[in-house]
Amino acid sequence: MKRISAAVALTAVGALVISGCAATEGGGDDSGLVEGSSITAAWNQPFYSYNGNTSFGNATANNNITYLTLDGFNYYNNTPELVKNTSFGSYEVVEEDPLTVKYTVADGVNWSDGTPVDASDLLLEWAALSRALDTPDFDPADFTDPDTGEFTDAFPTDVVYFDSGATPTAGLGLVTQTPEIGDDGKSITMVYDAQFVDWELSFPSPLPAHVVGKNALGLDDNEEAKQAVIDAIQNKDDAALAPISSFWNTGFNFTELPDDPELYLATGPYVISDFVADQYVTLTANPEYKGDNAPNIEEITIRFIPDPLAAVQALENGEVDIISPQATADIKTALDALDGITVLTGVEGTYEHLDLQFDQGKNPENIFSNPKVREAFLKTVPRQEILDKLIVPIAGEDALLRSSQIFVPGAEGYDESVANNGSEAFADVDIEGAKALLAESGVTDTSVCILYATNNPRRVNEFALIQASANQAGFNVTDCGSDQWGGLLGTPGAYDASFFGWQSTSLGVTNSLPTFQTGGINNLNFYSNAEADAIVEQLNVEFDTDKQIELQQQLDKILWDDFYGVTIFQFPGVTAFSDRVEGIDPSILAPTIFWNAWDWAVTDSGSDEG
């Protein structure tokens, strides 16, 4: 059956998260938790960080897990529309000018160790996501390992640096005054320096301040650690903030179950109970959770299966109950042959794109700092061939070539933007034009190392097509592919170009902008354009829809004129699940299949592993 039509699926521009893949409010039902019940879902990339708000951890593979374990003030259902999660807490605008917003944690909300969630957690979240307390002008580039994407041991210990990618013109970056704590330590009130159109999306799920305080400051008592974090922030104590920021950045990165259970405390319906490196994460119903989204299933295991055909085989064998792999023609054929399986197809909000490193690439000449070389390379990218060979066999008439960096096909403003943004110059491969530009550029080292997911068959084929085409024009395309590609994105010196998927997480008009703004969390290719930054600043405060579209169209043209990169295709989506489970109702926004996992149920109410 069809999940969604292309027209319905592609109507919103949202916040973007690195994609590994690929109409109810979801308040749970009255059946309650079925003891001993369990199901298994598959995902194509392993989990590696419990902090999805860092440049390192911002990936779908991580956020799928934390969505179910870290509660927050709101979430998107699959309409999609924003749902206020009042069982976690409430928020309200207490003053329009200046924009002043109060966040209050609901009574009885605890971490899974029983520690109450309170203003210390919210205040730490503000400090991290505003970066208002960061050491000025510090650049972490020299302290990032090009092989892993993580910070090195040489990272200065006296620097305050929260790796959230916050900028001073958007989101909590506009809240430079330290928020006031109120309501006996249950609330904080934030004053924005300027209006921000998407203020309601500024404050994601917090991490535990008491855990950060204990680990960063060598404390043992939870309450003492909370107070120490509050004091450090309120007093702007750099000596304490430096280790606090360092632990927030890296302390929650792990690729197997940590020895310290405090590193994966939960506030959501589930808590991590097991994690085997590169194999699976198991989530168990959180006994401390008292919210509205109480789960039906006691245990959900998420297995990591990078190969889509292997995921289909696991579904056929009953080893997993739900899969949502990157679709290929072989996947479609294999699923069509299965009995007792429901298959949902359509077009996703995720899109494939290729970016060029404007600075700090692997090539010794920093090849893509030269606009002629950028233009030349983009002329070689076989966008239509990729669509025809890899996507049309799956999606048929729903296969969509995307020609905008900002708008999704079908969205208001898309057609007009594509007609004027200059993308037409890259509609077809132009090898001779690329050769001429490359000759004019004066570069002597034409090597281009491309980062992509080597454990993804579709991406392997995509790389081969790009490599063959670009080499015809005189480029020497080499393979920087890795199965750890997500952590390497944005790492200085690791690669020259990359292709992967951006997945929408919200309907906010501003939240795709950190991809293109200087220093933004999703700006992984060191792109910087003053005119683009100025438009981003205008969009952050623009409430008029028509003006928003006009500004977005201007930004789209700047990006194509700068030869930023090329968009390629919208993802064809496929979700399949066995008759053993029900309640699977994917959203076009991340976390797609997991958005209502608390509504999933085992149809036989059995306790077998499936």
pLDDT tens digits, one per residue of 179-225: 999 999 999 999 999 999 999 999 999 999 999 999 999 999 999 99
- How many Å apart are CA 67 and CA 33, to the nearest integer? 19
Length of the chain: 610
Mean pLDDT, contiguous 10-residue spans, the chain (610 residues):
27 52 38 89 96 92 97 94 97 97 98 98 98 93 84 91 90 96 98 95 96 98 98 98 97 97 98 98 98 97 95 97 89 91 87 96 97 98 96 87 92 94 97 98 97 93 98 98 91 96 86 88 94 95 94 97 97 92 92 96 58
- How many Å apart are CA 486 and CA 61, to the nearest integer? 9
Domains in the chain: boundaries: 28-70+254-323+579-610, 72-206+208-250, 350-570
| Phi and psi, residue 384, nearest 5° | -65, -35
Query: Are residues 57 and 252 in contact, defined by beta-carbon separation less than 8 angstroms?
Result: yes
Model confidence, pTM? 0.85
Q: Which helix (H) or strand (E) holds 575?
A: strand 565-578
Query: Are residues 556 and 406 in contact, defined by beta-carbon separation less than 8 angstroms?
Result: yes
CATH topology of domain 28-70+254-323+579-610: D-Maltodextrin-Binding Protein; domain 2 (3.40.190)
CATH topology of domain 350-570: Dipeptide-binding Protein; domain 3 (3.10.105)
At 21 the pLDDT is 43
- How many Å apart are CA 164 and CA 248, to the nearest integer? 10
Choose which CATH entry (3.40.50.300, 3.30.70.890, 3.90.76.10, 3.40.50.10440) describes domain 72-206+208-250: 3.90.76.10
Instruction: Please classify residue 462 by burial: count the beta carbons closer than 10 Å to its beta carbon, then call 0-12 exposed, 13-18 middle and 19+ buried.
Output: buried
- How many Å apart are CA 320 and CA 326, to the nearest integer? 16
Query: Are residues 438 and 446 in contact, defined by beta-carbon separation less than 8 angstroms?
Result: yes
- Which residue, chain included where needed, has tokens 């430096």? 242
- How many Å apart are CA 4 and CA 2, to the nearest integer? 6
Q: Which helix (H) or strand (E) holds 123?
A: helix 119-130
Query: Are residues 51 and 61 in contact, defined by beta-carbon separation less than 8 angstroms?
Result: no
- How many Å apart are CA 484 and CA 479, to the nearest integer? 14
- How many Å apart are CA 223 and CA 226, to the nearest integer? 5
- Which residue, chain included where needed, has tokens 């590169």? 278
- How many Å apart are CA 341 and CA 577, to the nearest integer? 6
At 19 the pLDDT is 67
- How many Å apart are CA 500 and CA 507, to the nearest integer? 21
The radius of gyration of the chain from alpha carbons, rounded to an integer in Å, stands at 23
Bridge-based pairing state of the strands 497-504 and 341-356? antiparallel
